[in-house]
Amino acid sequence: MSTLILFDNEAVQALGDPNHPKHRRVLSHVEVVAQRRRRAVPVTLAVPTTVRVEAGWDGMDRRWALANHLRITDEPLGPAQANVAAGIRSRTGVSVTDAHLGAVIRATSVTNITVLTSDTKDVRAVAGARAVKVIAV
Amino acid sequence: MPGRHFAKPDLQSIYMSPPCQYPVCTTVLWYTRTMVKNEAIERIAELLDSSDTETANTSMRLPRALRDAAALAVEELGAAPTATTLTAVALRGMLEALLMQAALDQHYGQHPQARPSLGDLTVAAAELDGHPLAGQSELLYQSAAEIVRTHPGANADDVLLWAEARATASA
């Protein structure tokens, strides 16, 4: 069964900054994913593009070279997801990035969804009826 | 990933750099190898991100049994539209995993303090799996320390199994 692992803002910041106190913790999860992918376990790392914006992850900036190599796919905010995100934001009052995260969670066809986050409460709020594994970084 | 920057080392200047003055110094050789490896990582990433769908015949030789197994998996199990697709998907998956690990290893070389311990990896694996011991990080770190004494090549899943056995035995 396929697994989708999503990053929130602080998880991305921790990933991109070797001096971040949670850098090693986030890398631990990424390394486990790399090991599993070598065993052909279907697991995907992804990040909502608004999260990248908030975290300052500029894909053209060499400071993000490590993150750029980790096969983390972008989840863009297209028209349909923007509508869903707007609804989530109106109802829950969460940030734009969390609303986008919620829209990604609700749209994916993947059953196993995991979120690496510093804000477990908001992630559960935006996930709606979708079952999500929340890992606090 | 399209639109992302991958640092490009300047190999030309490395090759042209003056040799080290000390007779047994291997610094230049080490540096050159490291930079060649870095260049390979960048190039592999670029190639995997390429939208070029042009195909090429290869002279790659597969074991006949493997080729026949792939053909059967396609025809009878619907594993992929074609054996070629099946092979390409599997190859891409392995290359992406290798690239991830190579990038991590490259990063650990520059930032040794960032390298997770076996205990860190075990906690992460337990959390990703939703393992019942995920909340017992002390037990997982202790199990990692124990198992690595007799099995230096143990991985996070080995430690998890060991920790589970310990927890069951002490219950």
We report the CATH number of the domain holding residue A54 as 3.40.50.1010
Please state, in angstroms and rounded to a whole number, the distance separating the CA atoms of residues A116 and B7. Answer: 27
Domain ranges of chain B: 1-51, 61-115, 118-169
- Higher local confidence (pLDDT), A61 or B38: A61
- The distance of B113 to chain A (nearest Cα, Å) reads 8
ipTM of the complex: 0.94
CA neighbor of A134 nearest in space, from A6, A15, A46: A6
Instruction: Inform me whether the C-beta atom of residue B94 falls under 8 Å from chain A C-beta atoms.
Output: yes
Low-confidence residues of chain B: pLDDT under 50: 14-15, 20
- The distance of B49 to chain A (nearest Cα, Å) reads 9
pLDDT tens per residue across span A84-103: 999 999 999 999 999 999 99
DSSP B20: P
Model-wide pTM > 0.95:
no
Task: Please identify which residue in the block is written with the tokens 């920790």.
Answer: B163
Please state, in angstroms and rounded to a whole number, the distance separating the CA atoms of residues A118 and A26. Answer: 11
pLDDT (average), residues A7-33: 97
Please state, in angstroms and rounded to a whole number, the distance separating the CA atoms of residues B14 and B35. Answer: 8
DSSP B80: S
Within 8 A of A24 by CB-CB distance, chain B residues are 113-116, 120
Domain range holding A113? Answer: 3-136
Within 8 A of A135 by CB-CB distance, chain B residues are 127-128
Percent of chain A with pLDDT over 90: 96
Total number of domains constituting chain A:
1
- For the CA atoms of B81, B85, B90, B96, the dihedral, rounded to the nearest 10 degrees, stands at -120
Mutate to test the interface with B, among A32, A63, A132, A135 (most CBs of B within 10 A): A32
| Predicted local confidence at residue B170, as pLDDT | 84
pLDDT tens per residue across span B98-115: 999 999 999 999 999 999
